[in-house]
Structure 1
Amino acid sequence: MTPAATGLVGIIALFVLLALRIPVAFAMFIVGFVGIAALNGLNAATSLLASEAFTLGSSAELVVIPLFILMGNIASVTGMSRRLYDAAYAVIGQLRGGLASATVIGCGGFAALSGSSVAAALTMGRVSLAEMDRFNYDTRLSTGVVAAGGTLGILIPPSTGFVIYAILTEQSIGRLFLAGVLPGILLLSLFLLTITVICWIRPEMGPAGPRTTMSEKAQAMAGAIPILAVIVLTIGGIYGGMFSPTEAAAVGAGAVVLIGFAMRTLTLRTLWKASRDSIVTTATVMLILIAAHLINPFLALSHIPQAVGEFLTGLSLPVTGVLVIILLIYLVLGCFLEGFAMLVLTLPIFFPVVTQLGVDPIWFGVLVVLTLEMGLISPPVGINVFIVKSVAQNVSLARIFRGVLPFWLAMMAAVAILIAFPQISLFLPDTMIR
């Protein structure tokens, strides 16, 4: 069997294992190990497994993952995310669709701490769905806005998706974090515009909430100051050259712990729970990364990335045309695969193609991560939709998917804008202090 045929069999086997509900990391371990053994011998496979596990496990750069995850978990258990929502709720809740807009703003703020779309959707769903239900919001809008708002967690830094992309492509984590700031604000703004249009066309879908006094607004805004300060400290510190991403993660995690104890919202028991959850999530991410570094050499030995690259470049399309084809493939795969799995499986194939075409790898990373976000709310997988369903058990999946459709179209518009204007993604990384 030729190397290419072996590689094709391995990819098919991987999809079969995923269809059988084998965890992504273990499926990649099996295919990568067996594939390398078939192409390069058993000794090479066992040696690579040992060396890659040790190299990644001892990488100081990857400390950013558990620290940012811990920061988000502590912000959740101490109620910081709720106070951010309350502040937005107090300021704009009295407007038509205001509670939905406050939810999006809350999701964006929580995303800037947790870096996790699932955590953002789950946390804000618990906080906001009951409020929107109390004021008779249409369940399509209320559930759709939580599912879509949660996707901001993978784009607005710190983003676990950007960390994995950086490790797999050997790019700067700090530059990718900064590249996600303006696109994240753009997407958040498009979500707010979508809510405004929906409530303008169908006012009954998002009734106005209660009015608040200036003192109530001020009190709610004061409650959000600690979480806003942590966000400014971490992201601003990276942009200003004060911290590396790892140092910023450590400062942010330490800050939320100190704030939690100072405000008496963090106890040793809740700290232990947040730490335990962070360890479990980190272990999952690390397993996927180690598996990726096992399957990538297998794909390289099979020469499949080169074959795909030659095919795409042989189409004689402009660079934008090839880029659109790649993103469409991500969009289709997002309907069936989890985002991290897609990154691991496709980057070894597509990244050499885009670098050969002269596409900026930071810009490409933002486009890929944004496209992965769309998969989080696309049927039939749409993991954020299932997360919201677990909170709003009385709402059907079909109704939630109908609710996310306008926001999915807003995300498509964001992708088109970022393709047309790359500097939206590249402005901050290109001006950051080195």
Structure 2
Amino acid sequence: MIIAILVSFFLLLFLGMPIAFTMGSVTAGMLFLEDVSLELLVQRMFAGVDSFSLLALPLFILAGNIMGKGGLTKRLIRLANAIVGKLSGGLGMTSVVTSALFGSVSGSTVATTFAVGSVMVPKMQEQKYSNAFTASILGPAGILGLIIPPSITMVILGITTNISIGELFIAGLIPGILLTVIFCIYVAIMSKKKGYGVVEQEKITWKEFFHITKEAFLPLMTPVFILGGIFSGLVTATEAAVIAVLYGLLLSLYYRELTFRNFKGIMTNSAVTSASILIIISVANAFAYVLTTNRIPDMISNFFLQYADTTFQFLLMVSVILLVLGMMMEVTTLIILLGPIFMPIAMQFGVDPVHFGIVLIMNFALANITPPVGLSVIAGCSITDRNMGIEDTLPYILHVIAIVALVVLIIILFPAISTFLPSLFA
């Protein structure tokens, strides 16, 4: 049965069938072979999305889209450019820092890449950055939106594994900042080595810097309101998402950059993006049911308990498995399928739930940039040049993958990086 499930799943996946239909087909096939009514498939699909917390998902997506089109991105780019724009590789570093800032507003990897890339790509091309380097920076920089709160991926992980979403949000701050700094160092080194970009001689006065900071102040308050509301106990993560939508809408109207035509497109795009993710979540719940009834999670648990003697070995095994599967599967699917399997084992090893959650989040970030299903890299290629493929980003993308893998290892070795801030609010 296990072999039949795995062979069917990967065969359909490699034939190009969408992941939701792949899981649905395999689930239906297994239920049919076990002489179980297919009504169970529908029931489990509805149960998979019957959650108040899941309302945060489309709301955060909507908030990010509103903020991307409402003038907030431009103000964040100006601030990032004022901070690092005069350094070697300044424009590339501006892209990274802006992605981190916008990630703290939108919570979405692909949304971050497109929002920042649409503005930065033409400027980077003007300064002689190669398309390969540009795509390999803009795409992976989008994963900062997955790590820095509020993160849509953290919402899904928190719901799936019963980890506090608020604690995950606050725990992602230090890892997100760490990865941002390392990305910037890499961009500076490669830009100087390859001669990318130019160092602007004109300096920004303190008066100009104050004005730019003041312009970006209100957008930067978004994560403060979200995290403050959650940790004060005034709102849940779902209610905080509503605040993010309303705050983004008010700022967009204040800046007068949101038109009715743009708003229609934002609503449509948000609905389609939300629906595609929720369909995967619903079908994955039914797929997980089939796996559970066939005791596959128990077998995986026994494997880990048998061969992993230490917490480090366990977390390393999890990371390797996610690295391999991340090359073939979309992150949301990995969360739904593997989160409930790995979490009980982590508890048996005595791993702090928040630390384990951040280890998973960092591995999901890595999965977003590993070919061939590296959505962030695909987005980076798409925004840089429609004719680019992931193979065109070599060798730079390999450097970036190594950087993220290094940060994953650091997070595993030093749990305090994940748990320090949440412990202050305990």
Contact 2:127–2:196 (Cα < 8 Å) also in 1: no
Is residue 42 of structure 1 aligned with residue 36 of structure 2? Answer: yes
Q: Decide whether the 8 Å contact of 1:74 with 1:271 is kept in 2.
A: yes
Q: Give the drift of 1:350.
A: 2.9
Establish whether residue 16 from structure 1 lines up as the match of residue 8 from structure 2. Answer: no
Match of 1:284 among 271, 276, 280: 276
SS in 1 for 2:395: helix
Change (3 A) 1:58 1:303: closer
Aligned to 1:3: none
Give the structure 2 partner of residue 309 of structure 1. 301
Q: Give the CA deviation at 1:395.
A: 5.8
The offset of 1:37, in angstroms, is 4.3
Counterpart code for 2:36 = L
Q: Which whole-Å CA distance do the structure 1 matches of 2:31 and 2:424 have between them?
A: 42
Q: In structure 1, give the amino acid aligned to 2:98.
A: G
CA shift for structure 1 position 181 = 1.8
* Aligned equivalents of 2:83, 2:340: Cα separation in 1: 46
Counterpart of 2:195 in structure 1 is 204
- Listed one character per residue, the Cα deviations across residues 368-423 of structure 1 (whole Å, up to 9, x for unaligned) are 22112112222233222222222222766434232223322221221111111112
Cα distance in 2 between the residues matched to 1:355 and 1:34: 33
Q: Match for 1:296 among 259, 269, 288?
A: 288
Shift of 1:79: 2.4
Say yes or no: does 1:103 pair with 2:95.
yes
Q: In structure 2, what is the Cα distance between the partners aligned to 1:53 and 1:395? A: 37
What letter corresponds to residue 127 of structure 2 in structure 1? F
Task: Point out where structure 2 has 5 or more consecutive residues left out of the alignment.
Answer: none
From 391, 412, 424, give the equivalent of 1:398. 391
Of the three residues 264, 269, 276, the one matched with 1:272 is 264
Give aligned-pair identity as a percent.
Answer: 31
| Contact in 2 for aligned 1:141/1:206 (Cα 8 Å) | no
Match of 1:157, SS state, is: coil
User: Of 402, 408, 411, which aligns to 1:415?
Assistant: 408
Check 1:242–1:191 CA distance in 2 against 1; reply closer, same or farther (3 A cut): farther
Residue equivalent to 2:2: 7
Separation in 2 of the partners of 1:395 and 1:49? 39
Over 3 Å counting, the alpha-carbon distance change for 1:31 and 1:116 in structure 2 is: same
1:198–1:172: structure 2 CA closer, same or farther, 3 Å change rule? same
**Greater shift in the superposed pair: 340-349 or 418-427:** 340-349
Preserved contact between residue 110 and residue 376 of structure 2 (Cα < 8 Å): yes
TM-score, normalisation: structure 2: 0.93
* Equivalent residues of 2:113, 2:380 under 8 A apart: yes
Range moving further from structure 2, 179-188 or 351-360:
351-360
Matches within 5 A, 1:340-379: 340-379=332-371
Q: Deviations over 1:243-301 (max 9, x none)?
A: 32112111111011111112211222222221111111111111111112111111111
Match of 2:204 in 1: 213
Q: Tell me which amino acid in the other structure corresponds to 1:129.
A: V
Which 10-residue stretch deviates more, 316-325 or 147-156? 316-325
Inter-partner Cα distance in structure 2 for 1:381 and 1:297 = 25
Quote the Cα distance in structure 1 between the aligned partners of 2:325 and 2:197: 33
Is residue 30 from structure 1 mapped to residue 25 from structure 2 by the alignment? yes
Where in structure 2 are the equivalents of 1:52-91 lying within 5 Å?
A: 52-91=44-83
Q: Establish whether residue 318 from structure 1 lines up as the match of residue 313 from structure 2.
A: no
1:105 Cα deviation after fit: 0.9
Q: Identify which range, 341-350 or 406-415, moves more after superposition.
A: 341-350
CA distance in structure 1 between the aligned counterparts of 2:389 and 2:408, rounded to whole angstroms: 29
Q: Is the 8 A contact 2:355 2:415 kept in 1?
A: yes
State the superposition RMSD in angstroms.
2.1
Q: Is the contact made by 1:96 and 1:203 (CA closer than 8 Å) also made in structure 2?
A: no
Per-residue Cα deviation, 1:142-168 (whole angstroms, up to 9, x for no partner): 322212211112111222221222222
How far does the alpha carbon of each residue in 1:73-127 deviate from its partner, in whole angstroms, 9 at most, with x for none? Answer: 0011112112201221133212111111111111011111222111111221111
Q: Is the 8 A contact 2:166 2:227 kept in 1?
A: no
Shift of 1:58: 4.1
Alignment partners' CA distance in 2, 1:410 and 1:316 = 26
